[in-house]
Chains A and B, each alone.
Chain A
Amino acid sequence: MNTLADTWDWLTTGANWAGDGGIGQRLAEHLYLTAVCLALSCLIALPVALVLGHLGRGGALAVNISNAGRAVPTFAVLVLLLLSPVGAYGSWPTVIALVLFAVPPLLTNAYVGMRGVDRDVVRAARGMGMTGTQTLVRVELPLAMPLIVTGLRIAAVQLVATATIAALAGGGGLGRVITAGFNLASTPQVVAGAVLVAALALVVEALFEAARRLAPRRGGSAA
C-alpha cells in the first residue's frame, strides 16, 4: 500500500522529529499534558472516592453523576471553556476538559474497590482498636488497590488518547501532527500522527500491565 510506505517515509525522516513543532516537541507536550491532567484528576477523584467509600455514604450518587458525565462530549467542554473567560488562561481549558473526562473512571473504580473490601475484615480491624483513619489507610486502601490501579490505567490510556483533541482547539500535543496533516492535505502525515498517538496509548497500557505483573502480591487475589 502506497500510503503505508509514504507514512513510513514521513516517520523516518529526521527533519520531522526535530525542532519547533517536530514530533519530539509534540511528544513531550503530549506526555506533559497527560501527566498533569492525570495527577490533577487523582487529587480530585481519589480523596472523594476513598472517603465516601470508607463512610459508605453518598458514593452511589457520586458514581452516577460522574457516569452521566460520559454524555458530555469532551470536545464540546473544551470549546465552551475556550470561549468562556477561562479561555484567556493558556492551556487551562484543555486541562479542565481533560480532568473532567478522567475523573469518572478513577472515582468509580476507587469507590467500588473501597466498597468491595470484605466487611468482616473491616470489623476485625475495628476490633483490633484501629481508628477510622487507620482502617482506611492500612486495611481498606491496600485491599482496594487493584481496582484503584485499574481505574488509574483506564484514565491514563483514555487521557493519552483524548489529549489529541487539544489540537483541534489549537493546543499542543501529538494531535497537532494530525491536524497539521489535515491542513496540508497530507495523508501520510495524518496517518503518521495517528500511528504515533495509538502507539503511545498502547505503550502506556503495556507499562501498566508490566507494573501489575511485577508488583508484589499481597494476600488475597487481585480479581
Chain B
Amino acid sequence: MTAPPDDCLARNEWICGDYLSSRGQILTDAVLQHLRLTFLAVLIGLVLAVPLAVAARRWGWAAAPVLGLTTILYTIPSLAMFSLLLPVYGLSAALVVAGLVLYSLTLLVRNILAGLRAVPEETRQAARGMGYGPVRLLCAVELPLALPAAMAGLRIATVSAVSLVTIGAIVGHGGLGNLIYAGMNTYFKAQVLTASVLCVVIAVAADLVLLLIQRALTPWTRKGAA
C-alpha cells in the first residue's frame, strides 16, 4: 500500500494548484454552462423586455400592469421561482433560464421604459417633422436615446443573473453553483473557493464587456464629457 499523497488536495486547502490542473475540464464545463445559462436568460429577457417597455411607453394604460407584474415576479425568491416553474419545465436547464428571464425582466423593463420616457418631446417632434414614421422614430431615435438607461439596467440584470445561476444547483443546472453545492456537501474547500471566485470574475468581466459595448454604441454621450 502506498502512502496517501501529501498534496494540497489531500490537505483540503482553500487555494490549490493541483485542483486547477486535475479538474480543469470540470471547471471549464461549469464555466461554459454558467455563461450559456446567463447569456440565454439575459438575451431572452431583453427580447421580451423591449416590446413590453415600448408598449408601456406608447399606451399609458399598459404601464401600470406591466410594471406591477414584473415587480411581483422580482419579489418571488429565486429558489421559489425555480420551484414554481418545476411543474412546467421539470428538472432542466430551461427551468433555470426561465426563472432568470423572469428576474431580468423587472430590471430591463424598468430601465428601458425610463430611458424611453426621458427622450425629450422636442427631439421626437423634430424627427416627426423630418418625416419619420412611428417605426422609424422608435428604431432610429427613441431606442438609441434610451440606450444608456437600458444598458445600465442590462448591466445590473447580467451581474445579478450570473450570481443567481448558482441557485440553479438545486435542480442540477447551476453552472459553477453545481461545484459550490457539491463542494459544500463534501467539504471540498478548493472547489468551493475556486468556483466562487470564478463566479465573481465572470460577473465583473460581463459588466466590463457591457460597459465597452455601451461606450461603442453611444459615442455621442462622450463628446460633451471629454
Contacts and interface: CB of A to CB of B under 8 A. Distances in A.
30 contacts: A3-B87, A70-B160, A71-B203, A71-B207, A72-B163, A73-B164, A73-B180, A74-B163, A75-B167, A76-B166, A76-B195, A77-B196, A80-B196, A83-B183, A83-B184, A83-B192, A161-B78, A161-B80, A165-B167, A168-B170, A182-B83, A182-B170, A190-B83, A190-B86, A193-B80, A195-B80, A197-B76, A198-B75, A201-B76, A205-B75
A187 B86 contact: yes
A198 B166 contact: no
B59 to A, nearest CB: 25
Q: Interface centre among A72, A74, A195, A205, by most B CB within 10 Å?
A: A72
Given A73-B163, A80-B193, A164 B79 contact: yes
B159 interface: yes
Nearest to B184: A79
Contact of A164 (B80, B184, B196): B80
Interface of A: 1, 3, 68, 70-77, 79-80, 82-83, 157, 160-162, 164-165, 167-169, 175, 178-179, 181-182, 187, 190-191, 193-195, 197-198, 201-202, 205
Interface in B146-171: 156, 159-160, 162-164, 166-167, 169-171
Contact of A73 (B83, B170, B171, B196): B196
B76 A194 contact: yes
Contacts of A83: 183-184, 187, 189, 192
Nearest to B197: A76
A167 B82 CA distance: 14
A194 B196 contact: no
A70 B187 CA distance: 25
Contacts of A77: 196
Interface string B201-217: 00110010000000000
Contacts of B200: 71-72
A205 B76 CA distance: 11
B196 A178 contact: no
B77 A195 contact: no
Interface in B36-74: 72
B87 A179 contact: no
Interface of B: 72, 75-81, 83-84, 86-87, 156, 159-160, 162-164, 166-167, 169-171, 177, 180-181, 183-184, 187, 189, 192-193, 195-196, 199-200, 203-204, 207
B192 A197 contact: no
Contact of A197 (B80, B160, B199): B80
A194 B170 contact: no
Given A75-B177, A182-B171, 17 more contacts: A70-B156, A70-B160, A70-B203, A71-B203, A71-B204, A72-B200, A73-B177, A73-B199, A83-B184, A161-B77, A168-B170, A178-B80, A191-B86, A194-B79, A198-B84, A202-B72, A205-B75
Closest 5 CB pairs of A and B: A161-B77, A194-B80, A71-B203, A76-B196, A194-B83
Contacts of B75: 157, 161, 198, 201-202, 205
A79 B80 CA distance: 19
Contacts of B184: 79, 82-83, 168-169
B79 A168 contact: yes
Nearest to B90: A187
Contacts of A3: 87
A80 to B, nearest CB: 6
